[in-house]
């Protein structure tokens, strides 16, 4: 786990308006994202299950959600490249998997996606809609979101616990040295 | 037509605009499992913008509740045990696999990441297989 460190001096001194301004872009992005999820039908578990039910009364409408989202994002990226805009680093979530040797050979990427897909198919909720649905205060929505966050934290802290237990059972001495610390993935 | 094509397409365009806006405006990927999972870190440089995004998601949800309540579920199907199991699988799986529907499905594919395409095809197939087992082999009741 990371050591607790004080916030950098400049952000502390800047405070107020600068911090608010810096939060404005992610806040607006989250707000528009939630409206898009709601309008598209992704926040209705029954509709998601209908989309995944290819052998039953298949509801293909959610395919247009991904089509619209990817089409828009992809075209904007193409436009920016064509105009020669300098772009932020390409920090796609699969970058660590690509660095480990490609997707098809990456058991963590494929295994994780498969587990996620099973959970998605069981409840009809994925992380974005699950967060948005908590505003309904429905017990089921809150329960799902709490379990999801617990799962995320469990994945992060399980290796730490594993190292501790193994360190305690093994020879006496310092617990897991710094270089042996569990790898943190996908954070900057 | 509206419900089948236009609403999903329009919602998708909004999602694409939001994700592209976060990338161009702040240099971040709109992968919600990563944003949520790393929001609990202690370093404010890591967690700060993630909480702003999550606050935006909740504000958008509140707006939906006020303007378009039909967009939100009126009830969540499934026993408490099933919902906990599903939530744990989504939480562990999305972090283990490095992303979810938004991070791999929207951002990764838009950035032409082959790994994200593999992840997306994998969770779609697993989701469809799960729904097939639940709806057609177990008769829909869990």
Question: Is B109 among the domain residues?
Answer: yes
A63: tokens are 């395919």
**B125 in A contact zone (CB under 8 Å):** yes
Dist. CA B54–CA B44, nearest whole Å: 15
In chain B, residues with a C-beta closer than 8 Å to the C-beta of A42 are: 11, 101
- Measured between CA atoms, how close is A173 to chain B, in angstroms? 28
**ipTM summary value:** 0.96
Non-local (6+) Cβ contacts of B35 within 8 A are B50, B53, B54
By Cβ distance, the residue of B3, B28, B83 closest to A144 is B83
Would the CB atoms of B90 and A74 count as touching at under 8 Å?
A: no
Non-local (6+) Cβ contacts of B6 within 8 A are none
Dist. CA A148–CA B112, nearest whole Å: 28
Q: Could you tell me the residue range of the domain that residue B123 belongs to?
A: 77-142
Question: Is B67 among the domain residues?
Answer: no
Domain boundaries, chain A: 13-87, 101-170
What string of pLDDT tens digits covers the 142 residues of chain B? Answer: 677 889 999 999 999 999 999 999 999 999 999 999 999 998 888 889 999 999 999 999 999 999 999 999 999 999 999 999 999 999 999 999 999 999 999 999 999 999 999 999 999 999 999 999 999 888 776 6
* Domains identified in chain B, total number: 1
Contact indicator for A152, B92 with CB cutoff of 8 Å: yes
* DSSP letter, residue A100: T
B5: tokens are 């094509």
* DSSP letter, residue A56: S
Question: Is B24 among the domain residues?
Answer: no
Q: Quick check: helix, strand or coil at residue A4?
A: coil
CA A149 to chain centroid: 11
Q: Quick check: helix, strand or coil at residue B72?
A: coil
């Amino acid at each position: 786990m990371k050591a607790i460190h004080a916030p950098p001096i400049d952000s502390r001194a800047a405070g107020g308006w600068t911090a608010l301004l810096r939060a404005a872009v992610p806040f607006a992005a989250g707000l528009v994202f939630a409206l898009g999820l709601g309008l598209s039908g992704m926040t209705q578990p029954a509709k998601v299950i209908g989309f995944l039910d290819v052998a039953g009364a298949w509801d293909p409408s959610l395919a247009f959600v991904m089509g619209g989202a990817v089409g828009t994002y992809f075209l904007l990226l193409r436009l920016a490249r064509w105009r020669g805009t300098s772009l932020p680093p390409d920090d796609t979530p699969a970058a660590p998997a690509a660095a480990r040797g490609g997707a098809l050979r990456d058991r963590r990427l494929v295994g994780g996606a498969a587990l996620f897909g099973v959970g998605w198919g069981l409840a009809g909720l994925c992380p974005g809609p699950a967060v948005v649905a908590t505003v309904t205060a429905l017990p089921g929505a809150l329960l799902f979101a709490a379990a999801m966050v617990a799962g995320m934290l469990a994945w992060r802290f399980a290796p730490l616990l594993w190292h501790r237990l193994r360190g305690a059972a093994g020879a006496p001495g310092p617990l897991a040295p710094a270089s042996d610390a569990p790898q943190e993935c996908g954070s900057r | 037509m509206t419900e089948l094509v236009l609403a999903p397409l329009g919602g998708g365009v909004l999602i694409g605009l939001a994700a592209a806006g976060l990338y161009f405006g702040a240099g971040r990927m709109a992968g919600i499992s990563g944003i949520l999972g790393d929001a609990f870190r202690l370093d404010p440089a890591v967690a700060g913008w993630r909480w702003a995004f999550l606050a935006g998601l909740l504000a958008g949800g509140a707006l939906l509740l006020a303007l378009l309540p039909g967009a939100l579920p009126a009830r969540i199907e499934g026993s408490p045990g099933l919902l906990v199991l599903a939530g744990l699988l989504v939480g562990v799986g999305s972090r283990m696999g490095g992303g979810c529907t938004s991070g791999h499905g929207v951002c990764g594919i838009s950035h032409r990441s082959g790994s994200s395409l593999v992840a997306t095809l994998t969770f779609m197939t697993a989701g469809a297989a799960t729904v097939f087992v639940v709806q057609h082999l177990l008769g829909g009741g869990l």
